[in-house]
Amino acid sequence: MLKIGIVGCGAIGTILAKSIDKNPKAQIVALNDIDETKPENLKNTLLASSPKITTLDQLTDASDLIIECAHKNAVKKIATTALNKKKDILIMSVSALIENPQLFELAKKNNTKIHIPSGAIAGIDALKAGLQNNIKSVTLTTTKPKETLSHAPYIKENKISIEKIKKKTTIFEGNVIEATKGFPENINISATLALAGIGPKKTKVKIIADPESKINIHELKITGDFGEITTTTKNTPCPGNPKTSYLAPLSAIAKIKDIIENTNIGT
């Protein structure tokens, strides 16, 4: 029985908890959130698990696997605590790993694992395969409903009036370091691509604000010695958080099943 602790009981945390609750080989033992009402409400919806609502330290001690689905700014503390206590961690706020590469060193030193689900995009498997012999370019073009971008630091710093955008508009072009700084809650997928592929400096990102769209669209183009790949993922928003695509928690559920079953299908 895998004992799991969840940090962050919002849209993703709720979907993951409800799925894990149905798996007889896993048990949610602890929940943590800065908003006290969230874990309490989530606990009340679970049928098989009866998790304790705890501090981060207590949650880490009680769990075999820690799931982070909280916030970019919380990752350093959550992951350092988990890895120092020699516990594996699954990270959703992947943007934070671009600024904290030392966490991978810490995982290696402590013989622990950092799990990163693919998120709401197709193509990570092929990117990893292509990387074995020369990837030339990785370009992500993300189109989002304009209102989901309005709180991003890049929008505020550049005084972009999102409400005045009347047609599809490219609002950002740059690399993953710049993208994850400017849009920490919107473009985690670019961090996952960078970590799986040619790194945050070389992985290119374009963000388009669309006043008509209700979905997140990720278009990925990879070129290399293997040839060329293009993928398009049209994502339904997640219940509870329109910034998050539903495929993101679904990819985490698939990853957690692999961890529980000790399987690893795909590259």
Ligand X SMILES: NC(=O)c1ccc[n+]([C@@H]2O[C@H](COP(=O)([O-])OP(=O)(O)OC[C@H]3O[C@@H](n4cnc5c(N)ncnc54)[C@H](O)[C@@H]3O)[C@@H](O)[C@H]2O)c1
Q: How far is the CB of 17 from ligand X (least distance, A)?
A: 11
Output 195 or 209, the one with its CB closest to ligand X. Answer: 195
Question: Could you tell me where the DSSP H helices lie in the chain?
Answer: 11-21, 37-45, 56-62, 75-84, 95-99, 102-109, 124-130, 153-157, 176-182, 188-196, 247-261
Q: How far is the CB of 1 from ligand X (least distance, A)?
A: 25
Whole-angstrom CA distances from 210 to 147, 148, 200, 259 are: 9, 10, 25, 37
Output 13 or 145, the one with its CB closest to ligand X. Answer: 13
Output 125 or 225, the one with its CB closest to ligand X. Answer: 125
Q: How far is the CB of 185 from ligand X (least distance, A)?
A: 4
Q: Which residue is nearest to ligand X (CB)?
A: 10
Q: How far is the CB of 134 from ligand X (least distance, A)?
A: 26
The DSSP secondary structure of 30-52, one letter per residue, reads: EEE-SSTHHHHHHHHH-SS--PE
Sequence-ordered list of residues with C-beta below 8 angstroms from that of 238, at least 6 positions apart, any chain: 11, 12, 15, 244, 245, 246, 248, 249
Q: Of the candidates 175, 183, 190, 177, which has an alpha carbon nearest to the alpha carbon of residue 157? A: 183
Return residues touching ligand X (CB under 6 A). 7-13, 32-35, 38, 69-72, 74, 92-94, 119-120, 185, 188-189, 192, 238, 240-241, 244, 248
Catalytic residue list: 218
Output 49 or 93, the one with its CB closest to ligand X. Answer: 93
